[in-house]
Structure 1
Amino acid sequence: MQFHLVLPGLAWPRSGASHAAGDLSLPALSALLGHAQASWQPAVAPETWLVARFGGTDVRLPYAALRRAGEAPPAADAHWLCCDPVHLHFSRDKLLLADASGLGITADETATLIAGLNDTFADIGRFEAPAPDRWYVALTDEPRPFFHPLPDVNGRPVQLFMPEGEDIARWARLSNELEVWLYNHPVNAAREAAGQRVINGVWLWGAGPADVRLQAPAPRIQADAPFARGLARFAGVDPEATERYLDGTGFAVVSSLQRPALHLDATAWQAALQQLEQHWFAPLLAALKAKRIRTLTISAPSDKHCLQLEISAGSLWKFWRKPQTLAAVLATAPQPASTTP
Structure 2
Amino acid sequence: MPDQVTPPPSMHWIVPFAASLSEPCQHALPRLADAKALPNLRRLLGQLQEVARIEGDEYALSMPHERVLAASMGWPDVDGQLPWAAWWAAQDGVKLTADAHWGLLSPGHWLMGRDHLTLLDPATLALSETESRALFEAVRDLFESDGWALIWGASQRWYASHPSLQGLPTASLDRVIGRNPDVWLTDHPQARTLRRLQSEVQMLLYQHPINDTREQAGLATVNSFWLSGCGPVPACTATPAHIQLVNALRAPMLADDMPAWLDAWAQVDNTVLKQALQAVDAGKAIALTLCGERHAVTLATAPAPGLGGRMWQSVKRLTSSRSGPDPVALLNSL
The two structures have a TM-score, normalised by structure 2, of 0.72
Contact 1:8–1:301 under 8 Å retained in 2: yes
Shift in alpha-carbon separation, 1:39–1:81, aligned structure 2, 3 A: closer
Aligned to 1:70: 91
Q: How does 1:198-237 map to 2 (within 5 A)?
A: 198-210=221-233, 212=234, 230=237, 232=239
Q: How does 1:1-341 map to 2 (within 5 A)?
A: 1-3=7-9, 4-11=12-19, 13-15=25-27, 19=31, 28-37=40-49, 42-43=55-56, 45=63, 46-55=65-74, 56-59=76-79, 60-77=81-98, 79-118=101-140, 121-123=143-145, 124-130=148-154, 132-137=155-160, 139=161, 141=163, 143-144=165-166, 146-149=168-171, 150-210=173-233, 212=234, 230=237, 232=239, 239=241, 250-265=242-257, 266-267=259-260, 270-271=263-264, 273-274=266-267, 277-278=270-271, 280-291=272-283, 293=284, 295-312=285-302, 314=310, 317=314, 318=316, 319-324=318-323, 328-331=326-329, 333-334=331-332
Cα drift, residue 316 of structure 1: 5.4
Worse overlay, 183-192 or 156-165? 156-165
Amino acid at match of 2:291: P
Contact 1:82–1:204 under 8 Å retained in 2: yes
What is the rounded CA distance, in whole Å, between the counterparts of 1:168 and 1:10 in structure 2? 31
The two structures have a TM-score, normalised by structure 1, of 0.71
Contact 1:51–1:231 under 8 Å retained in 2: no
Structure 2 segments unaligned to the other structure (5+ residues): 1-6, 58-62, 305-309
What is the rounded CA distance, in whole Å, between the counterparts of 1:19 and 1:39 in structure 2? 27
What is the rounded CA distance, in whole Å, between the counterparts of 1:161 and 1:92 in structure 2? 19
Amino acid at match of 2:280: L
What is the rounded CA distance, in whole Å, between the counterparts of 2:254 and 2:52 in structure 1? 19
Secondary structure (helix, strand or coil) at the match of 1:160 reads: helix
What is the rounded CA distance, in whole Å, between the counterparts of 1:15 and 1:261 in structure 2? 13
Contact 1:34–1:324 under 8 Å retained in 2: no
Cα drift, residue 176 of structure 1: 2.2
Worse overlay, 157-166 or 14-23? 14-23
Shift in alpha-carbon separation, 1:158–1:253, aligned structure 2, 3 A: closer
Equivalences, count:
299
Secondary structure (helix, strand or coil) at the match of 2:319 reads: coil
Amino acid at match of 2:47: H
What is the rounded CA distance, in whole Å, between the counterparts of 1:63 and 1:332 in structure 2? 28
Structure 1 segments unaligned to the other structure (5+ residues): 215-229, 240-249, 337-341
Runs of 4+ in structure 1 over 6 Å off: none
The structure where helix makes up a greater share of residues is 2
Aligned to 1:217: none
Amino acid at match of 2:43: A
